[in-house]
Chains A and B, each alone.
Chain A
Amino acid sequence: MSRATSSLSRSIAAHAILIAYTVIALFPVVVIVINSFKSRNAIFRAPLQIPTQETFSLIGYKTVIEQGNFFIYFQNSLIVTVVSIALVLVFGAMAAFALSEYRFRGNTLMGLYLALGIMIPIRLGTVSILELMVASGLVDTLTALILVYTAQGLPLAVFILSEFMKQVSDDLKNAGRIDGLSEYRIFFRLVLPLVRPAMATVAVFTMIPIWNDLWFPLILAPSEATKTVTLGAQMFIGQYVTNWNAVLAALSLAILPVLVLYFFFSRQLIRGITAGAVK
């Protein structure tokens, strides 16, 4: 009896702490989003109220859409993120397959070489990366960003994918070889479909830092035509800092796509983190 009450009170305490922290985690996001739908007066008078009929206003969103090139920024972010992820996945999986499937001289060394980039941030090479991009005429192009993000994403992708590829059954691959499939076909037809869940995990891991990065867009592609959403929002907010409606609307617009994607992929992401950490 006393044990049951103590476990009940313990579980109430656990929920209380978790709810309290959930409120802390969500509060700023909620405040930004609800205020973005309010008129300027209401934002200041009652910041914590949800918009009512009188205080509802889309003026901020109107300013953002009229003044900013958010559609272009959004398109740029989408192109950069999607192409980088595709390259990371294809090239990463190919390298992971070579490392996990074949025994050759320098295999371990190659693995270590590629793993270096997991710990060493690519940012530290910025000075030379900028020179490289200037020399090859890629400054202010999306290609520059795609190249950098592909290089940044590859080490972790190779590491995770080769762990998974080691688990693909040898019998299956050997059966394919006996049937006369080339090594390329074995990779693309047999192995790739089997590691698809791992690829999804890598995709989500790769996507978040690329979409949110401010450093490289600021340095390599700051022109109006190549700005990403993150940089665009940063600059827009810097310019309109006194127009609270516009700032709040811009922030909400920047939050929205990430949040939608997160709800679609959160299971993959969380499974990926938990699976990776168990090892």
Chain B
Amino acid sequence: MTNTPAKSRPVRWHIAVFLMPAVLIYTAVMILPLFGTMQLSLFRVENNLSTFVGLDNFRTLFGDPNWSVNFWNALRNNVWFFIVHMVVQNPIGVVLAALLSHPKLRFSTFYRTAIFIPTILSFVIVGFAWKLILSPLWGIAPNMLDAVGLKSLFAPWLGQEQYALTTLSLISVWQFIGIPMMLIYAALLSIPDEIIEAAECDGITGVAQFWKIKLPLILPSIGIISILTFVGNFNAFDLIYTTQGALAGPNYSTDILGTFMFRTFFGFQLQVGDRNMGATVASVMFFIILAGVCLYLFGIQRRLRRYQF
């Protein structure tokens, strides 16, 4: 057999048959609704008639105090949510992976399996479990702090405006630490032995080896983790909804774009749901995520490639 598909063939219907179901469902349920949502964000209902208003909805969202206060608040909170993940989750994940990848470490499968457990649990479980543990009513958290003499540090963290968002971010970090740990672990295992041996011959071992040899080699994986974290964080909803409700209390201090979009679209308590404004918020989230992904693909990932073998 030679690779010459040159002779004129009949239409290869089987290709279409193989592609059809996936493309149909994907297009109908994912791509068209995405565009449909963006289209809706350009319309507004006036006197029961949907009228084209161009970018007016976006202007309202960014500028009209009725909307913009909540929107910028949600965006700011979301950025903080992301920063906490980047600063806490990823370094801890890297440290755990570096420890796990040591070839002579025993029980590494056990550690790996156990540390990954929170990642497979649903937000509902995670949210309520931590809500109970941090609750001053039950007293697990204050009692444990008491045992180490730090009781004065305890506060009902989820109920106070200045702490609630950070607490929730840390709960989310606790849940998702398994993902950076696994990806970095895999990257560390894939470093060729010769490179490590060469480093050892040159007398570079231990911590110095990690900083000088391994870390530059796993930078692409850290890049992937950062973009996964980014997309996940700017699309988050469940944890906040579970622990704080759709109002993202106290006083909107834990409101992020996901909960803001939910309230805008469906309305909550006194607020009436608004389809077009909901679509506008979703479109803004789409552009934020798209910008992040593009920045990663065209800016960061290319630069990181240089370090690869």
Which positions in A face B, CB cutoff 8 Å? 10-11, 14-15, 17-18, 21-22, 24-26, 28-29, 31-32, 43-44, 47-48, 87, 90-92, 94-95, 97-99, 102-104, 110, 113-114, 116-117, 119-129, 131-132, 147-148, 150-152, 154-155, 158, 174, 182-184, 187, 208, 211-215, 219, 230, 233-234, 237, 244, 247-248, 251, 254-255, 258-259, 262-263, 266, 269-270, 273-278
Q: Interface segment, B31-39, B69-77, B160-168? A: B31-39
List residues of B whose CB falls within 8 A of some A CB.
1, 5, 12, 14-15, 17-19, 21-23, 25-26, 28-37, 40, 92, 95-96, 99-100, 102, 104-105, 107, 110-126, 128-130, 132-133, 138-140, 143, 174, 177, 182-183, 185-187, 189-190, 206, 221, 224, 227, 231, 235, 237-238, 241-242, 258, 261, 265-266, 275, 278-279, 282-283, 285-286, 289-290, 293
Name the distance in Å between A248's Cβ and chain B's nearest Cβ.
8
Residue from A91, A113, A131, A214 within 8 A of B36 (CB atoms)? A131
Which chain B residues border A116 with CB–CB below 8 Å?
31
| Chain B, Cβ-Cβ closest to A14 | B99
| Docked complex Cα distance between A219 and B95 (Å) | 39
Given A124-B34, A158-B22, A247-B128, are A29 and B121 also a contact pair (CB < 8 Å)?
A: yes
- Of the residues B5, B19, B143, contact of A98 by C-beta under 8 Å: B19
The answer to whether A122 and B30 have CB atoms under 8 Å apart is: yes
Q: Which of B102, B121, B290 contacts A255 (CB 8 A)?
A: B121
A274 touches B22 (CB 8 A): no
Say whether B113 contacts A266, CB under 8 Å.
Answer: yes
Chain A contacts for B227, CB-based, 8 A: 119
B34 touches A128 (CB 8 A): yes
| Docked pose: A44 CA to B19 CA in angstroms | 58
4 tightest CB-CB pairs across the interface, nearest first?
Answer: A125-B33, A128-B36, A212-B122, A128-B33
User: Judging by beta carbons under 8 Å apart, are B19 and A110 in contact?
Assistant: yes
Chain B, residue nearest A219 (CB): B266
A219 to B282 alpha-carbon distance, docked (Å): 15
Known contacts A92-B22, A121-B235, A151-B26; A17/B138 CB under 8 A:
no
B105 touches A11 (CB 8 A): yes
Least CB distance, B247 to chain A, in whole angstroms: 13
State which of A21, A95, A110, A132 has its C-beta within 8 Å of the C-beta of B29: A132
Contact of A124 among B129, B138, B282 (CB under 8 A): B282
Where chain A touches its partner, the secondary structure class is: helix
- Count A-B contacts at CB 8 Å: 257
- How many whole Å from A18's CB to the nearest CB in chain B? 5
- Assess the A18–B96 pair: CB atoms within 8 A: yes
Cα A183 to Cα B5 in complex, Å, equals 16
Q: Closest CB of chain A to B126's CB: distance in Å?
A: 8
Chain B nearest Cβ from A135, distance in angstroms:
11
The answer to whether A208 touches B120, judged by C-beta atoms less than 8 angstroms apart, is yes
A184 to B185, CA, bound (A): 39
Extra contacts, 13 of them, besides A147-B25, A276-B186, A278-B190 (Cβ < 8 A), are A17-B95, A21-B115, A91-B22, A103-B5, A122-B30, A127-B275, A152-B30, A208-B120, A213-B238, A214-B241, A254-B124, A274-B186, A277-B190
CB atoms of A17 and B117 under 8 A apart: no
Known: A120-B286, A121-B231, A278-B190. A127 touches B279 (CB 8 A): yes
Residues A117 and B30 in contact, CB atoms below 8 Å apart: yes
Contact of A151 among B30, B237, B238 (CB under 8 A): B30
**Chain A's nearest CB lies how many Å from the CB of B219?**
13
Chain A residue nearest to B140 (CB atoms) is A47
Measured CB to CB, the closest approach of chain B to A74, in angstroms, equals 13
For the complex, what is the distance from the CA of A44 to the CA of B81, rounded to whole Å? 32
Write out the residue numbers on chain B whose beta carbons fall within 8 Å of the beta carbon of A214.
122-124, 237-238, 241-242
Q: How far is the CA of A29 from the CA of B104 in the complex (A)?
A: 29
Bound CA–CA A89/B165 (angstroms)? 38
Minimum CB–CB distance from A125 to chain B (whole Å) comes to 3
